[in-house]
Amino acid sequence: MTKRALITGITGQDGSYLADLLLEKGYKVYGLRRRTSVPILENIRHIENEIEFIEGDIQDLSSLIRAVKQSDPDEVYNLAAQSFVGTSWTQPILTGHATALSVTNMLEAVRIMKPDARFYQASSSEMFGKVVETPQRETTPFYPRSPYGVAKVYGHWMTVNYRESYNMFGSSGILFNHESPRRGVEFVTRKITDAVARIKLGLQSELRLGNLEAMRDWGYAKDYVECMWLMLQQDKPDDYVIATGEVHSVREFCEIAFKYVDLDYRDYVVTDPAFFRAAEVDLLQGDPTKAINQLGWTPQKTSFVKLVQLMVESDLKKAEITRSEIYSLRK
């Protein structure tokens, strides 16, 4: 029988790759989509007609109840959130609603309408924040450093609590940073590759960044969504760290990205205090041993250098289109 999946956050980076994967596997895919004045479907344009959209907002329990009723899902992937750490300081209350409390909304909707559905919660390495051990694993205590990190800790523990209170199948993926050409442009990786492409094509002259020494364990989003699916195929629900185990600095990311188009990042990158965080997470490095052993997952199908290159290539194509549009307007 055809399996049915409900994805919240389907228009985002991970939701779009997960939808690609589930469609490939023959799932009927439902996507919760919030109403916007102008539809933003860039990431899912190519599969728009294969997804059944349900209008709703994760902050609105009634729309989630309706979404679960309408989709009658075997699997629910809860990816929607206010996902940008920087914004979580300027909009801490919204972040609390969208990233923390909304997890309870989704859990309640599932508990009320379809308690035997399998539930995936998008937890985050930001929960480790000011890390108390390195590398971080499932047993590492949390020490979040931003309103976003705090909100994710709440969502994580609510998923554990519903598992223990109601015997629901709820699994959390503690995913370390993962990037792709579909990443939002405010995140540092995409901000860099977008700028590299625009600088190369003469559309931009400099790149203003914050802390270049921050270290992250960066993976490729397309490789990571496979883990979400694998977690819901296990006999029992559980929590897993998903990471590559390899770390690089923001500076290194810049160096590789600029070098790929024969430029030296030192000629273009300007440090700007506006992009420093109120409380920084200096280093995140995950230990994916449990996911490797129990899920049979292979980290780093796509290497760090390859990831940087594929993001630069994609942004070069986009910048080329922008440049052509500017030229045709001038004619």
* Largest CA-CA distance found in the chain, in angstroms, rounded: 66
Q: Is 48 a catalytic residue?
A: no
- Check residue 247 for interaction with ligand GDP (CB under 6 A): no
Q: Answer whether 106's CB lies under 8 Å from 58's CB.
A: yes
Query: How many C-beta atoms surround the C-beta of residue 229 within 10 A?
Result: 18
The distance in angstroms from the start CA to the end CA of the chain is 57
Sort 37 into a burial class: Cβ within 10 Å, 0-12 / 13-18 / 19+.
exposed
- Check residue 57 for interaction with ligand NDP (CB under 6 A): yes
**Region of residue 167 (phi > 0: left; psi between -120 and 50: alpha; otherwise: beta):** left
Window 74-93: residues binding ligand NDP (CB under 6 A)? 79-83
Helix (H, G, I), strand (E, B) or coil at 41: coil
> 248-249 and 215-216 as β-strands: parallel, antiparallel, unpaired?
antiparallel
Sort 148 into a burial class: Cβ within 10 Å, 0-12 / 13-18 / 19+.
buried
> 219-220 and 178-179 as β-strands: parallel, antiparallel, unpaired?
parallel
Among candidate residues 72, 168, 89, 163, the one with its CA nearest the CA of residue 126? 89
Residue from 21, 86, 92, 143 in contact with ligand GDP (CB under 6 A): 86
Q: Site for ligand GDP (CB under 6 A): how many residues?
A: 19
Q: Which pair of tokens denotes residue 29? A: 């895919």
- Check residue 64 for interaction with ligand NDP (CB under 6 A): no
Among candidate residues 254, 128, 130, 281, the one with its CA nearest the CA of residue 193? 254
CA distance 193 to 208: 13
CB of 274 to ligand GDP, least distance (A): 8
Q: Name the residue whose CB lies closest to ligand GDP.
A: 214
Window 104-163: residues binding ligand GDP (CB under 6 A)? 126
- Check residue 211 for interaction with ligand GDP (CB under 6 A): yes
CA distance 6 to 79: 10
- Check residue 170 for interaction with ligand NDP (CB under 6 A): no
Candidate segments 101-109, 112-120, 255-263, 274-282, binder of ligand GDP by CB under 6 A: 274-282
- Check residue 221 for interaction with ligand GDP (CB under 6 A): no
- Check residue 250 for interaction with ligand GDP (CB under 6 A): yes
Task: Indicate which residue of 75, 126, 179, 255 is catalytic.
Answer: 126
Residue from 98, 107, 109, 295 in contact with ligand NDP (CB under 6 A): 98
Residue 180 binding target from ligand GDP, ligand NDP, none, CB below 5 to 8 Å by type: none
| Closer residue to ligand NDP, CB minimum distance, 17 or 162 | 17
Hey, which residues does 269 pair with through a beta bridge? 207
Task: Indicate which residue of 148, 220, 224, 260 is catalytic.
Answer: 148
Q: Is 148 a catalytic residue?
A: yes
| Closer residue to ligand GDP, CB minimum distance, 65 or 310 | 310
Candidate segments 28-36, 46-54, 258-266, 284-292, binder of ligand NDP by CB under 6 A: 28-36
Residue type, 22: L
Alpha-carbon dihedral angle through residues 302, 309, 188, 292, given to the nearest 10 degrees: 10
CB of 96 to ligand GDP, least distance (A): 17
Task: Indicate which residue of 63, 71, 124, 172 is catalytic.
Answer: 124
Q: Answer whether 75's CB lies under 8 Å from 7's CB.
A: no
- Check residue 280 for interaction with ligand GDP (CB under 6 A): yes
- Check residue 277 for interaction with ligand GDP (CB under 6 A): yes
Query: How many C-beta atoms surround the C-beta of residue 205 within 10 A?
Result: 10
Residue 232 binding target from ligand GDP, ligand NDP, none, CB below 5 to 8 Å by type: none
Supply the residues annotated as catalytic: 124, 126, 148
Footprint of ligand NDP on this chain (CB under 6 A)?
8-15, 32, 34, 36, 40, 57-59, 79-83, 98, 122, 124, 175, 177-178, 184
Footprint of ligand GDP on this chain (CB under 6 A)?
85-86, 126, 177, 186-189, 191, 209-211, 214, 216, 250, 275, 277, 280-281
